[in-house]
Amino acid sequence: MAEQLIIVGSTREQKYQALLPQIEALLEGERDHTANQANVAAALRETFGFFWVGFYRVEGDELVLGPFQGPIACTRIGFGKGVCGSCWQLKKTILVPNVDEFPGHIACSSASRSEIVVPFFDDQGQVALVLDVDSDRLADFDEVDQHHLEALARSIRHRVC
């Protein structure tokens, strides 16, 4: 298991290409989903300096806060509520350039300006948890982030949910 990240490159694309194999190696052999979620959140925040990175797991009709890096967060989010609940409901990634323009946005922190939320699916094709990444800058996420975070979700899903 790696205890430090080695990130090379100056573009976000290059950083993802360097980071994702290291996350896979970091999780290899570890069966505890909570520990793995914690390390994924830490690796993403350390590499990119995102404002907030964390997981919400599906528990009944709510998403419940899991491991995260960043300021205190909302503990429970209803199905279809906010960006995270909408991601769960729609079963697809949601990229929000300006959270103030997202109908029903839940403001866990007023410093959050843009957001991307990626679903993780169980073996039955149901959303088991979502990865929520917030930035304190407007329009900080794009298709590069979506492509790589969705690839990460596919490759590590059995290690985190």
Please state whether 82 falls in left (phi above 0), alpha (psi between -120 and 50) or beta.
left
Residue 72 sits at φ, ψ, to 5 deg, of -50, 145
Burial (CB count within 10 angstroms: exposed 0-12, middle 13-18, buried 19+), residue 161 = buried
How much is the pLDDT for 152?
97
What ranges in the chain are assigned the alpha helix state H?
Answer: 12-27, 33-48, 82-90, 143-160
Domain span at residue 47 reads: 12-160
How much is the pLDDT for 104?
81
The verdict on residue 95 lying in a domain is yes
The verdict on residue 154 lying in a domain is yes
Q: From CA 53, how far away is CA 146, in angstroms rounded?
A: 14
Q: pTM of the full predicted structure?
A: 0.95
What ranges in 49-142 are assigned the alpha helix state H?
Answer: 82-90
How much is the pLDDT for 105?
83
The verdict on residue 110 lying in a domain is yes
Q: How many CA atoms lie within 13 A of 113 on its CB side?
A: 10
pLDDT tens, residue order, the chain (161 aa): 457 898 888 999 999 999 999 999 999 999 999 999 999 999 999 999 999 999 999 999 999 999 999 999 999 999 999 999 999 999 999 999 999 999 888 877 788 999 999 999 999 999 999 999 999 999 999 999 999 999 999 999 999 99
The verdict on residue 7 lying in a domain is no
- Count the domains in the chain: 1
CA 117 to chain centroid, in Å, comes to 6
The verdict on residue 4 lying in a domain is no
The verdict on residue 6 lying in a domain is no
CATH of the domain at 29: 3.30.450.40
Q: From CA 84, how far away is CA 139, in angstroms rounded?
A: 17
The verdict on residue 2 lying in a domain is no
The verdict on residue 1 lying in a domain is no
